[in-house]
A and B are shown apart, each in its own frame.
Chain A
Amino acid sequence: MIPAAFDYVRASSAAEAIQLIGQYGDEAKFLAGGHSLVPAMKLRLAQPTVLVDIGRVSDLSYIRDGGDHIAIGALTRHMDVEKSPVLAEHVPLLAHAAGHVGDPQVRHRGTIGGSLAHADPASDLPATTLALGATYVAEGPNGTREIAAADFYQGYFTSALAPDEMLTEIRVPKMGGAGWSFQKFNRRAQDWAIVGVAAWQRGSECGVGLVNMASTPVLASSVATAVAGGASAADAAEAAAADADPQGDLNASVEYRVHLAKVLTRRALEAAAS
């Protein structure tokens, strides 16, 4: 319940945050909403020596229409993503998925950037942004760079961000009226998904992201290929686990996860198409 001691510094801008994290090195961590990090620290599973609090970098909380995409500041809270009229119009799948993260208290404090940078394969938003073909913007000591969501997730809780890089913006292509569905399957509403499927479909084009089906969020490319080839939702869903590598845990065996991915993908595609 009591975290190990650490030093705390507060950044007022992204540039200052990057400077600070560079200064303190490997044992330092960014603190955004803290809703992934603080619980781990309370159990002393995480013991950073320095926290760089970026929660007050207010110019990173925004949702803007960027023409062909919506740009979301990394410190935008889940609740603001969920309730955004702009996202409801242009990227309803993301707004809906954000409404399934944790519980209302978590959504009031947790941020989209924090959730994505944490790179938890069981989180809802990494797979959702992956399915949507999002691009992340990272800022480091040498300026900014764009990272495709598909290139971002490199392993269990491991992202392409360098230690001194900070996620600043998420750019999500507009869905252009595509059908969509978010299928989150869990035992309690507040929990992480046992398996989740985020899908959109426009004609023979679709994107499917899988939650908790590997050590990273999974883009189910094989499903998209099957749909593009004219397969029915049921047939395409058979390929749902082709790109996955799930583990067994308390709530699901490997076989069950694979099965669930297929069932939920079929349901998602059927819902997206209707």
Chain B
Amino acid sequence: MEITVTINGKSHTADVEPRTLLVQFIREQVGLTGTNIGCDTSSCGACSVHVDGEAAKSCTLLAVQADGCSITTIEGMAAADGTLHPMQQAFMENHGLQCGYCTPGMVMAATSLLAENPNPTEEEVRIGLEGNLCRCTGYHNIVQSVLACAKS
């Protein structure tokens, strides 16, 4: 089935099998491998992207469901000149990542969180990231990163 999806501002038209997951489409057909796959039960959030401006788990959407949607992946977050998005910058400054595998999903979830709640409490940040798992950081510095980004 032919679909057209805008990814990071660029339109992609492609023929996909209906069973193709959005994350597979992004990684394998569009070639943007920054979006990671960490589980197969929608538990870990590593695959989070923005669909029409809101965080969604791209492993739980079929590519055909995203037909006509505007997607932002981690590759679309930094400015064209390479300047990091404020959330990326906050993660760097607060050591909010170690192995980096959960990081793209965390950044996408965290920016979506701040879009809905620009001044969250620490508790609200923790609850707001309930759908994203990290095994390295213990979350402490991820939470600090998000709070720092909200403050800046």
Q: A residues touching B (Cβ–Cβ < 8 Å)? A: 1-8, 10, 31, 34-35, 38-39, 41-43, 51, 53, 55, 79, 102-106, 108-109, 188-190
Contact = CB atoms under 8 A, between A and B. Distances in A.
A42 B40 contact: yes
B37 A1 contact: yes
Contacts, number: 94
Pairs of residues from A and B, 5 with the lowest C-beta to C-beta distance, nearest first: A103-B131, A8-B18, A189-B130, A108-B54, A3-B19
Given A5-B17, A108-B56, A39 B41 contact: yes
A34 B43 CA distance: 15
Contact of B40 (A1, A5, A102, A108): A1
A43 B41 contact: yes
A3 B22 CA distance: 12
A7 B113 CA distance: 35
Contact of B45 (A38, A103, A188): A103
B34 interface: no
B45 A105 contact: yes
Contact of A8 (B1, B24, B37): B1
B19 A188 contact: no
A8 B57 CA distance: 20
Interface in B44-70: 45, 48, 51, 54-57, 59-62, 64-65
A195 to B, nearest CB: 19
B109 interface: yes
Contacts of A189: 127, 130
Given A2-B19, A8-B18, A104-B109, A39 B127 contact: no
B18 A109 contact: no
Contacts of B132: 103
Contacts of A105: 45, 48, 55-57, 60, 109, 112, 131
B128 interface: yes
B119 interface: no
6 contacts: A39-B42, A42-B21, A42-B40, A42-B59, A105-B45, A108-B54
B65 A34 contact: yes
A190 B43 contact: yes
B39 to A, nearest CB: 9
Chain B interface size band reads: 20 to 34
B19 A5 contact: yes
Contact of A106 (B18, B21, B57, B64): B57
A8 B146 CA distance: 39
Contacts of A2: 19, 21, 24
A106 B80 CA distance: 30
Given A6-B18, A6-B19, A103 B130 contact: yes
B64 A8 contact: yes
A38 B131 contact: no
Q: Which of A35, A55, A79, A103 has the most CB of B within 10 A?
A: A103
B81 to A, nearest CB: 30
Contacts of B61: 34, 38, 109
B60 A34 contact: yes
A8 B61 CA distance: 13
B112 A104 contact: yes
Contact of A104 (B37, B41, B43, B130): B130
A109 B53 CA distance: 12
Contacts of A103: 45, 130-132
Given A34-B61, A34-B65, A106 B17 contact: no
Contacts of A38: 21, 42, 60-62
Interface in B65-111: 65, 109
Nearest to A77: B54
